[in-house]
Amino acid sequence: MKFPSPLSPIHDALLTGAAVWNSADSLPPSVSQFDASDPQKAALLGVADHSHLPRAGVKGPGATGWLAELGLSLPSRSNSWLPFPDGGLIGRLGNTEYLIEGNAARVAQIMQTPRAPGVYPVLRQDAVFALCGSRVNELLLQTCNVDFRCLVADPTQLLLTSMAGVSVLVLVAGNKIHPVYRLWCDGTYGLYLWETLTGIAEELGGGGIGLDALP
């Protein structure tokens, strides 16, 4: 199969032969099904690649005002996030940095709008993973020294922390019964983190899954 540009940072790990691919214009292809056992894995512990979503970043003391002028509603607290009605999200990293993800048109608008004083565009080329399943907490406990129950208690929070030795941004989506953790890391650490997380997931009865299997 020939893949058009661009590609997920962990593209090489997804080339399994069994994967069913999704391809949209100008987005990295994504895996809708990893293999036939996706539902079983997802129930226990699934790791899916979400890197294909369009994404933009901006930081600096002028970022808040600049984004507001673009008509976006912003998270009011530092280290919190808001979903967009169309499924995308905006996260406030620390106090003056934002990550916008999901809607291609919105992302393109942000990337094409000229920056203003105190506004510093950030090219986001993250590896993005979604974790789900009944044993997801065990995976988190094996890789991260932060109690993620605080996220379930307050799902508007964003956590910037370290997982298996890599800096990550984490939030919890989904619901209390089926939480889905989403995490972002530098794309160049993506393969390492994917291999580490799916390796542990496999020990726990799960593994890599396609996006269709996410709850």
Partner 1 sequence: MKIMTCPFNGPRPVSEFFYWGEIRPMPDPATCSDESWADYIFNRNGAPGVKQEWWCHIASNTWFIAERNTEKDLVLRTYLFEEEL
Partner 2 sequence: MRLPPVPGEWLDRSVDVSFSFEGKTYRGHAGDTISSALLAADAGILGRSFKYHRPRSVLSMANHDVNAVCQWGDRPNVRADVTRLQAGMDLAAVNTFGGLKSDKASVLGSLSRFLPVGFYYKSFHTKRLFPMWERLFRTLTGLGKVSFNTPHIRTAKRYGFCDVLVIGAGPSGLAAALAAAEQGAEVVVVDENARAGGSGGYVRGGFGPQAEQLADDPLTRVLAHPGVRLMTETYAAGYYADHWVALVGGDVLTKMRTKSVVVASGAYEQPAVFRNNDLPGIMLASAAQRLIYRYAVRPMQQAVVLTANQDGYRAALDLAAHGVEIVAVLDLRLSSTASEPELAVKARGIPVLPGHHIVEALPGANGKSVVGAIVAGRGKMRTLACDGILMSIGWAPAANLLYQAGTRMRYEQSLEQFVPDTLPPGVFACGRVNGVHTLSARRLDGQRAGSAAAAHAGFGDARVITVPAEMECPTHPWPIVAHPKGKNFVDFDEDLQLKDFENAVQEGFDNIELLKRFSTVGMGPSQGKHSNMNALRILARLTGREPQQVGTTTARPFFHPVPMSLLGGRGFSPERRTPLHARHEALGAQWMMASVWQRPEHYRLTDKDRQQCIREEAMAVRQNVGLIDVGTLGKLEVIGPQAAELLERVYISKYANLKVGMTRYAVMCDESGVVIDDGVVGRLAEDHFYFTTTTSGAATIYRELSRLNTMWRLDCGIVNHTGAFAAVNLAGPKSRALLSRLTSLDLSATAFPYLALREGVVAGIPARLMRVGFVGEWGYEIHVPANQGATLWDALMAAGKAFALRPFGVEAQRLLRLEKGHIIIGQDTDGLTNPFDVGLEWALKMDKPFFVGQRSLHVIGRQPRKQKLVGFVLDAQFNGSAPQECHLVIDCGEIAGRVTSIAWSPTLGCHIGLAFVRPELAETGTAIAIRLTDRSTVSATVARTPFYDPDNLKQKEPA
* Residues near partner 2 (CB under 8 A): 5-9, 11-12, 28, 59-61, 115, 117-118, 120-125, 138, 141-145, 147, 149, 164-166, 186-189, 191-192, 196, 200, 203
Among 32, 134, 143, 161, binds partner 1 (CB under 8 A): 161
d(CA 211, CA 42): 10
| Residue 189: CB atoms within 10 Å | 19
d(CA 102, CA 26): 13
* Region binding partner 1 by CB under 8 A among candidate stretches 23-31, 32-40, 131-139, 153-161: 153-161
| Nearest Cα residue to 53 out of 77, 87, 85 | 87
| Nearest Cα residue to 45 out of 53, 57, 37 | 37
- Output Rg (C-alpha) for the chain, integer angstroms: 17
| Nearest Cα residue to 51 out of 109, 103, 11, 98 | 11
Residues of this chain, 65-84, that bind partner 1 according to CB under 8 A: 78-79
Q: Is 95 in the site for partner 1 (CB under 8 A)?
A: yes
Among 16, 23, 76, 162, binds partner 1 (CB under 8 A): 162
Residue type (1 letter), 60:
G
d(CA 61, CA 114): 16
Nearer to partner 2, 135 or 182 (CB): 135
Q: How far is the CB of 121 from partner 2 (least distance, A)?
A: 8
Nearer to partner 1, 131 or 211 (CB): 131
Nearer to partner 1, 50 or 59 (CB): 59
Among 31, 89, 169, 211, binds partner 1 (CB under 8 A): 169
